[in-house]
Amino acid sequence: LKDFIQSLRALIDARLRRYLDAKAIETCELAPSALELTEVVDSLTSRGGKRLRPVLLAAAYRAVQPGGDVERTLEAGAAVELLQSFLLIHDDFMDRDEERRGGPTAHVVLQRAHGGDAHRGASLAVLAGDLASTYAWELLLEAPFAARRDEALQCFIRAQKEVYLGQHLDVVGDPDTQRMQQLKTGSYTVRLPLELGALLGDASPAQLGALRSFGEPLGEAFQLRDDLLGTFGDPAVTGKPRGNDLRAGKRTALIAEAEELLSHDDRAVLDRAHGNSKATDEAIDDASRLLVARGVRNRIERRAERLVAAALDALDGAELGGEGRQLLKELAALLTARVA
């Protein structure tokens, strides 16, 4: 698996580099002074080193086409990375996040480049996100889907719509965090790459069905891990400040669970940190320790484990190639590895 991931990462990075260099030239030909938009997309995309989505996409392709050439998956993989850049740029503006992937977010970069004007920074970040979205489409349309192209485009469209609706639930603080996370993250992080990889391999309906049954619980487990990382994760790993989700007041699965589990007094400790952008590191630590001591963290970890087990079950008995199936299983473990 490590070899597979490393070689695919290098291929995707090279494909993205070639594409983004061409876009910089294109922008310079049309409007040189707008190059900062392409640059901000490039910078965010280039520093996203894990490439989990293209790896998942290539593994699904290999599960359907044993021994197939993963070069065929690079345009679709690069498209999913640019879709991710687009979504992150817009989300970071909405969430007022200032750090992403170990660097400043797009609206912060653009605000600084324009004399600290926050509205201008936000406006240009919205444009940069729009541009990244169009780049994603352009790359996807270059992918060799052959007769399955229309299906692939429909998957791409559905994933986008689900993300927007999920993000709406997130922005307004909808209490149904599970649905919010399925729509917002599961759709394009796990299901979409699996679908695109399967369609590139001309999957049968049974194969596509098995991969979706694998993807749904896996996507949910991945999101739970993301919640655990956002609260307990090491900033060196997450690229975001410590306790970021707590300070930002995100309604993560942890918070939903805490609301059911905590006593009134415990809630007061949590509330000193949650949704308080000025919470001290001590208040963040107190809240984190409480979530551990009261078993909230443990419950979410157990739930994630059950979901991963369900995902792995869906692969067994499916008509998928042995090597690809093994890759998918190992990726499932990697995607949902325990937060240290």
* Nearest approach, Cβ of residue 120 and a copy of itself (Å): 6
Enumerate residues 6+ apart whose C-beta is below 8 A from 32. none
* Nearest approach, Cβ of residue 199 and a copy of itself (Å): 15
User: 62-101: which residues touch a copy of itself (CB under 8 A)?
Assistant: 90, 93-94, 96
* Nearest approach, Cβ of residue 206 and a copy of itself (Å): 25
> Which residue shows structure tokens 């996807």?
140
Instruction: Give the phi and the psi of residue 104 in degrees, each rounded to 5.
Output: -70, 145
What b/e readout covers 17-41, taking b as 16+ CB neighbours within 10 angstroms?
eebbeebeeebeeeeeeebbbbbbb
* Nearest approach, Cβ of residue 236 and a copy of itself (Å): 29
**Joined tokens for residue 189:** 């992080």
* Nearest approach, Cβ of residue 191 and a copy of itself (Å): 14
The answer to whether residue 313 forms part of the interface with a copy of itself (CB under 8 A) is no
> Which residue shows structure tokens 């809630």?
267
Site string for a copy of itself, 182-201 (x = CB under 8 A): -x------------------
Q: Of the two residues 178 and 326, which places its CB atom closer to a copy of itself in the complex?
A: 178
Q: How far is CA 305 from CA 151, 234, 312, 338, in A?
A: 32, 21, 11, 9
**Joined tokens for residue 147:** 């007769």
Site string for a copy of itself, 125-154 (x = CB under 8 A): -xx-xxx-xx--xx--x--------x--xx
Of 213, 216, 240, whose CA–CA distance to 227 is shortest?
A: 240
- 104: β partners: 99
Q: Of the two residues 65 and 244, which places its CB atom closer to a copy of itself in the complex?
A: 244
**Joined tokens for residue 37:** 């938009």
* 196: alpha, beta or left? (left if phi > 0; alpha if psi -120 to 50): alpha
Site string for a copy of itself, 157-186 (x = CB under 8 A): x--xxx-xxxxxx-xx-x----x---x---
* Nearest approach, Cβ of residue 180 and a copy of itself (Å): 8
Instruction: Specify burial of residue 198 (Cβ count, 10 A radius: 0-12, 13-18, 19+).
Output: buried
> Which residue shows structure tokens 């619980």?
217
The residue count for binding a copy of itself (CB under 8 A) is: 46
**Is 103 in a helix, a strand, or coil?**
strand
Of 166, 181, 175, 169, whose CA–CA distance to 304 is shortest?
A: 181
* Nearest approach, Cβ of residue 172 and a copy of itself (Å): 7
* Nearest approach, Cβ of residue 175 and a copy of itself (Å): 10
User: 2-41: which residues touch a copy of itself (CB under 8 A)?
Assistant: 26-27, 30-31, 33-34, 36-37
Q: Pick from 47, 50, 112, 119: which binds a copy of itself (CB under 8 A)?
A: 119
Q: Of the two residues 77 and 129, which places its CB atom closer to a copy of itself in the complex?
A: 129
Q: Of the two residues 68 and 166, which places its CB atom closer to a copy of itself in the complex?
A: 166
Which residues sit at the interface with a copy of itself, rule CB under 8 A? 26-27, 30-31, 33-34, 36-37, 90, 93-94, 96, 114, 119-120, 122-124, 126-127, 129-131, 133-134, 137-138, 141, 150, 153-154, 157, 160-162, 164-169, 171-172, 174, 179, 183
